Chains A and B, each alone.
Chain A
Amino acid sequence: MKSDHHVILRVITKTLIPVIVLFGLYVQFHGDFGPGGGFQAGVILAVAIILYALVFGVPSAMRAVPPAFTRSVAAVGVLLYAGVGFWALLQGGQYLEYQALFGEEPGGHHGQHVGIILIELGVLFGVSGAMLTIFYAFAGRVAEIRDEDW
Chain B
Amino acid sequence: MIDLLLDTAPRWALLHAPALLIMVPLFLAPLLAILPSGRLSWLISIAATVFSLFCALILVGQVQASPVGVVGYDVGNWPMPIGITLRVDALNSMILLLVAAIGVLSTIFSWPTVKAEIPERKHPLFYSAFLVCFAGLSGVAITGDAFNLFVFLEISSISTYVLVALGAGRDRRALPAAFNYLIMGTLGASFYIIGVGFLYSATGTLNIAQIAEMLPSLAGNRSVEAGFAFIIVGLGLKAAVWPLHQWLPNAYAYSPSFVTMFLSATATKVALYALIRFLFTVFRPEFAFEQATFTYLLMPLGLAAMITCSFQAVFQTDVRRTLAYSSVAQVGYMILGVSIGTVAGVSAGLFHLLNHAMIKGALFMAVAGVVLTFQGTTIRDFAGLGRTAPWTMTGFAIAGLSLIGVPLTAGFQSKLQLGYALFDQGMWWGVVFVVFSSFLAVIYMGRILEAIFFRPPINPRKSRKEAPILLLVPLWILALANIYFGITTELPLGLARDAAAAAFGLEAF
Interface size class of A (residues with CB under 8 A): 20 to 34
Across the interface, which residues of B come within 8 angstroms of A89, CB to CB? 12, 16, 19-20
B33 interface hit (Cβ, 8 Å): yes
Q: Which of B70-113 contact A (CB under 8 A)?
A: 73-77
B30 interface hit (Cβ, 8 Å): yes
Let me know if B30 and A95 touch, CB within 8 A: no
Across the interface, which residues of B come within 8 angstroms of A85, CB to CB? 19, 23
Let me know if B30 and A74 touch, CB within 8 A: yes
Measured between alpha carbons, how far is A72 from B20 in the docked complex, in Å? 24
A60 interface hit (Cβ, 8 Å): no
Interface size on B, residues (CB 8 A): 17
Q: How far is the CB of B157 from chain A (nearest CB, A)?
A: 16
Q: How far is the CB of B396 from chain A (nearest CB, A)?
A: 36
Q: Which of B12-46 contact A (CB under 8 A)?
A: 12, 16, 19-20, 23, 26-27, 29-31, 33-34
Contact with B along A65-106 (1 / 0, CB 8 A): 000000110111111001101101100011111111000000
Given contacts A75-B33, A89-B16, contact A82 B76 (CB under 8 A): no
Given contacts A72-B34, A75-B33, contact A93 B77 (CB under 8 A): yes
Q: How far is the CB of A80 from chain B (nearest CB, A)?
A: 9
Let me know if A75 and B30 touch, CB within 8 A: yes
Given contacts A82-B23, A85-B23, contact A99 B77 (CB under 8 A): yes
State which of A86, A94, A98 has its C-beta within 8 Å of the C-beta of B74.
A94
Let me know if B31 and A94 touch, CB within 8 A: no
Let me know if B76 and A95 touch, CB within 8 A: yes
Given contacts A72-B34, A89-B16, A89-B19, contact A79 B27 (CB under 8 A): yes
Across the interface, which residues of B come within 8 angstroms of A95, CB to CB? 16, 19, 23, 73, 75-76
Let me know if B26 and A71 touch, CB within 8 A: no
State which of A75, A86, A99 has its C-beta within 8 Å of the C-beta of B31.
A75
Measured between alpha carbons, how far is A96 from B23 in the docked complex, in Å? 11
Q: How far is the CB of B129 from chain A (nearest CB, A)?
A: 12
**Nearest opposing residue in chain B for A77, CB measure:** B30
The 16 listed contacts between A and B (C-beta, < 8 Å) are A71-B34, A72-B34, A76-B34, A78-B26, A78-B27, A78-B30, A82-B26, A85-B19, A86-B23, A89-B20, A94-B16, A94-B75, A94-B76, A95-B23, A97-B76, A97-B77
Excluding A75-B31, A82-B27, 12 further A-B contacts by CB distance (< 8 Å) are A71-B33, A71-B34, A76-B30, A78-B30, A79-B30, A82-B23, A86-B23, A94-B19, A94-B74, A95-B75, A97-B76, A97-B77
